[in-house]
């Protein structure tokens, strides 16, 4: 959830939907409430939220699962609060691609002390499509559908023309390979998985 931008967007675009968010960081919750004007963002673990069983239609986890040491209890809880047929959307880095990029960096620049070659330093667990399937299956979800979504082209309003073009080119190449390989070759940086209860 972080700072509430997604919860805010859903509330603005889908007036008949009720959106809420949970976040562990007190600073992020404060930002969501004060800067984004959200009263529907809560601090703490969602597992302690008291959400009724079989009551939610959609749950999203944007860049969350890789930070959870033991994800099974979280997924079990999310499964319990989703309605039958409900959807869990999870997004996380695609570890095989992240690892490949790290190896290329080592080949090009060599190994240097203090350099972190994987893009994220704070990830506790890393996932592939197969491990994402097992993770969901163990909590009762159907096997997920994987999608390639258009990348965010700028961060905090800053973007370079070359970086935008490179991101878009990579997106179109990976999406094309995904389609022509009949959904077997997945080279995107990020896993976007849709699970159904």
List, for residues 87-109, the tens digit of each pLDDT value.
Answer: 999 999 999 998 998 898 888 88
Provide the edge-to-edge strand list for the sheet that holds 145-147: 56-62, 82-93, 190-196, 145-147
- For residue 155, name the pLDDT band (cuts at 50, 70, 90): low
- Asked if 73 and 45 count as a contact pair (C-beta separation under 8 A), the reply is no
According to DSSP, residue 85 is labeled E
Domain 45-196 has CATH 3.40.50.150: yes
The pLDDT value recorded for residue 88 is 98
Instruction: Identify the H or E element spanning 95.
Output: helix 95-109
- Asked if 93 and 191 count as a contact pair (C-beta separation under 8 A), the reply is yes
- Asked if 114 and 89 count as a contact pair (C-beta separation under 8 A), the reply is no
Predicted TM-score (pTM) of this structure: 0.86
According to DSSP, residue 9 is labeled H
Percent of the chain past pLDDT 90, that is, above it, reads 57
Give the end-to-end CA distance of the chain in Å, rounded to a whole number: 22
The token pair at 47 is 């597992």
Has residue 125 got a pLDDT over 90?
yes
The pLDDT value recorded for residue 182 is 95
The pLDDT value recorded for residue 144 is 97
Closest CA to 126 of 102, 105, 110: 102
The pLDDT value recorded for residue 158 is 55
């Amino acid at each position: 959830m972080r700072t509430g931008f997604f919860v805010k967007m859903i509330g603005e675009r889908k007036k008949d939907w009720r959106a809420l968010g949970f976040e562990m960081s007190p600073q992020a919750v404060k930002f969501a409430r004060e800067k984004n004007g959200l009263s529907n963002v809560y601090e703490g673990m969602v597992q302690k939220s008291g959400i009724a069983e079989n009551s939610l239609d959609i749950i999203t986890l944007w860049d969350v699962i890789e930070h959870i040491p033991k994800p099974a209890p979280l997924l079990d809880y999310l499964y319990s609060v989703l309605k039958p047929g409900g959807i869990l959307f999870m997004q996380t880095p695609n570890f095989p691609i992240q690892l490949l990029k790290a190896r290329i960096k080592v080949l090009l620049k060599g190994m240097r002390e203090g350099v972190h070659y994987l893009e994220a330093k704070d990830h506790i667990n890393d996932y592939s499509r197969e491990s994402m399937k097992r993770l969901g299956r163990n909590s009762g979800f159907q096997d997920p559908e994987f999608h390639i979504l258009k990348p965010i082209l700028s961060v905090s309003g800053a973007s370079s023309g070359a970086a935008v073009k490179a991101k878009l080119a990579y997106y179109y190449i990976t999406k094309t390979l995904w389609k022509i390989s009949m959904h077997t070759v997945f080279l995107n940086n990020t896993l976007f998985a849709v699970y159904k209860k």
